[in-house]
Structures are given as structure tokens and as C-alpha cells.
Structure 1
Amino acid sequence: MTSMTSRTSTVLLNRSTWTTIDGEPAVALEHMPDSWQRIAQATWMTEPGVYTAMAQVFLAKNLGGHILFLERSDTQHLREAYCTGNGKLAWEAVYHYGEMFLPENYPDLSQLRHEVQCHPMQQTERIALVNIVSDLFDALGYDVPATFYWTFLHPLQRSDVFEVRSFRFSEQDLGIARQFDAILHGGYVSMLRRLIDSISSRHGFFIEHGCGCENHLAKLKPCDSSFDYRLPPEMRSKTLRAFFWSILEEYMLFEQRSATRLVYKSV
């Protein structure tokens, strides 16, 4: 953590380390986390250069308060505090996804399938969940971060895969709340959400995310049926780029958002 903090401070204070990409401010690649320097040369992703550039731009914009302080002259006295706070959170987001796009951090689905086949409880549902994620990987591969797949596999860690938990208030989930909740919120990029629901519906389930940041596996109701949806080839890149930008923002903002147990208060 010390190296992450010192590197952030260096980038923040020394604007000479910045560059531009397509006219937008960007942190120079050599000042990004080491993972992004590796990703920039990746052979396992479809658009490693574009994803790396987006991470560079995201970090620079949030280190510099790019929009807020250009458009509102009455906020100049807040600039230093904003850049310090948001810059730290943006660095954490960029650092996290840099790690999560490395191929060694993706789930071993064959191993997981073997493990759930040996699980005595809800075996059918657990196998279906692994199969859903396997189909998602076939469709999206390494063009979404490893946390995308780990998020949907998370109910396997529970004694009951249908248990509804709020990531923000579940003591068991506090360690993964930020990274998994970001994926679920970012997943509301509409075309990607349709793909996720389509694939899960073919296995008889939906992976649901409620307004209280709950996450659980849900059986299809008798009136529901499976449906087929595929990302139009011409929209795939734009959809996944939009998803990546969304999860960067969601991960950065998670710790700034307040929550209340009143959402769960009995009537």
C-alpha cells in the first residue's frame, strides 16, 4: 500500500508526467501500475491498447478534477481536497482492475465444477451457476475483468445460494463488497445486462442485484422462460468499453456513498 500511495502522490504533484490521448488528459503509461504496462502489450484481450488508454485517461481526469473545476469557478477552493480524495480512490480503482485483467486471476472453472460436484447441498443449482459463468466466459473472455466472473460465482461461498445479502451490511462480504458491488452496478449497461440474463435464463436462473445492493441467485418463476440474446458484433466493443468505464467509476465512488439499514427495516 505504501508504494501505491507514493506513486499516486508523484503523479498528482508532477503534471509533467501527464500526456494526452486523443486530446484528453492521461497519465503517462510509465507512471501507471505495473499491471497496466503488461496489459498494454497483452495478447489475451481483444483491445488491450484501448483499455489501457481508458485507464490512463480515467486516472488523469480524477486526479485533476477535470470537469468540475473547468465548469464551476466557485469550486476552486475545493480543488486540492477533491483531487487528493478522488485521486486516491481513482488510483485504487485503476490499480484493482489492472490486477483483475491479468489472466492468472481468472477463475479455474474446471476446478470449480469439480468442487461443486462434490458439494452435498444444492448441487444442481451450484453446477448451473458454474455453467452460467462458463457460458459468460465463452461470450466475453478476458474482455471483462476477473471480478466480473468472481462476482457471479460468489453465491457458491454461501451455505444457501439463494440467500439474499446486502454487500454493504453483510459481515461475511465486507472484504469483497467494493469490487463485487461495482461489477453489479456497472452491469446495468443495458446490452450487457440482457446478455447476462439471457445466458442465465437458459440454465433456469437469474443472478439478481437489488436496489439495496443485495446479490443472490434466483430461480425463474413458472411464468418465466429462457430467451436468447447476443451482443450485436458491431456493438460489442462499445458495450464492453462502456462497462469498463462504469465499473471504474463505481469502484472509485463506492466508499463515498452512504447507506442505511433503514432500507431493510421491517414495516
Structure 2
Amino acid sequence: MKWIDPHIHLFALAHGHYAWLKPENPPFWSDKAVINQTTLEPELYEGNRNLIAGFVHIEAGFDNHHPWREVQFLEQHCKGPFRSVANIHLTANSAQADINRLVRFHSVVGLRHILDDGAQTILRSPKALHTFKYMAQHQLSFDAQLDLTDTASVSALVKVLEQVPHLTVVVNHVGIAPSSRANLAYKHWQHHLRELGQHNKLAFKFSGMEMQERQWSWQYAHGVLCDVIESVPLSKLMLASNFPLCNLRMPYSALLRGYDRLLKRFDRQTAEQLRYSNAYRWYKFTPQDFEE
């Protein structure tokens, strides 16, 4: 069964900035060298060409001041079907002008501002609200990266959904699931999953477990996936890789094989939704994308 991987990054180190990948800049990971290398579309397909039907490229810090440069590079160099989620600074004075420029690119369907610890402050900003409304007018989705164990951040996101009801939001890395399923933080996380899952225009991507725990286990992954499926409608969930950051735990090909084994525990329709049709719909692929 084919995959559309809805969360990958490509690094063109000779062309972009990628300040966050440089060893002198945060995050100060001891294993950052594993990913601090040029990684382009051929590396994504290596050993996986018959599996990957398409992908969604999530901004990777190519040039945060001129986000269209990353998209321009991708559209010039990528051969397979793909969509782009470009960088946006939600509170910048240039946000509207940046959106006007980004919508000219055929691959751009969404935007991302990494919220993380600043989620509550950013999401409650009047400037951010204005940007969200402008995004919705242009039918662009927003990839939200934030910690769903934080009640204040979740409340701020819910407020945005209420104030901009036509905005589509996709929560990255399933809201940064805690590395242990046996603590209070995990219960808060699951409660907020259920709360957000009630919103029609919001979806989740299951990925990025290495961001919390480098040595996560498949038993843990299966438990979290089952908890997510119990908490949100299946139509709102996509299985993703976070390539090449997944290499901090295991090679991309190994991750895909592991996902394949994991999905054999579910019925075929569930598996097809998780690895293809949901990503196809949420990220606006078309039949023409897959014509030879």
C-alpha cells in the first residue's frame, strides 16, 4: 500500500541558512551531526521508492526571512508529487506580504510558525489573529507545533479556532506526546486531544517521537497510536515520519517498515486512511498529481 508522508524536511545546506542545524546554535543536541547534512529528495526515496506516493515538505529553516526561497528551491528540484508548508512569522509586519508571495507557488497549501514554549503568547496576539484570518481567506492551513500537555496553550489554540472558524489547523507530532504513558502529563495530553478532536477543521499528525525520547519503543508507539485513535476521529489522523529527524532513532526505511508492521494490527481501511487518504485530503492532493 502506497504512502503519502505528510511531514518531511529536506536540507539543501549549500543553498539555505539552516541556523538551527549549526552546532553553535540551539537546540544543543549531542547527536545533531546525524541530521546536519544535505538531505534531498533522492535520500527520501532511497530504498523506499515503491512505497512513497507523495510527501508534504514542512519548512526547515532554509531562509526564515524570505520563506518563498525554500519553496522556490523545492519546486525547481523535486520531481515527485508533493505539497509545501512554508514558514510564516505570525506576528511580523511582513506576514501579509509574505502570504501574498507564497500563494503564487503551486505546491504551497499551508504555513507553519513553530510555537513551542511561546504558544500561548503568540496565539493570543492580535497580530497573529489577523494573520490567521488572512491565511484562511487564502485557503491556507496552519501547521501548529505545540505541547498539548499545556492547558494555557491549548486554550489559546481553541480560541483561535473559535475566532477563525474557516482556518484549517494540523497539529504536528500529535501534540508532542509525553514519553511515558504512565504519568499525569499523559492524561492531560489525552484530555486535550479529545477537546481539540471535536473541531471539524483540525487534524493531527502522528510523528516525531524521537523529539521526546530518542530510544522510543514500538510497544510505546502502538500504545500511543491506539490512544490517539480512541481520542479523535480517524479521519483527522495521519501517520508521518519527521524525516530525516527520524534518523535520530532509526533510518527512514526502518521506520516505514515498522509502521507497516504496526498497521497490520488494524483493519485495511484504517491503515489506508492513516497512510494515504487522510493526508491526500488534508493537504489537497489531486488525481493529476499522480499521473505519469
Does the alignment reach a TM-score above 0.5? no
Greater strand share, structure number: 2
Q: Which entry has the higher C-alpha Rg, 1 or 2?
A: 1
Greater helix share, structure number: 1
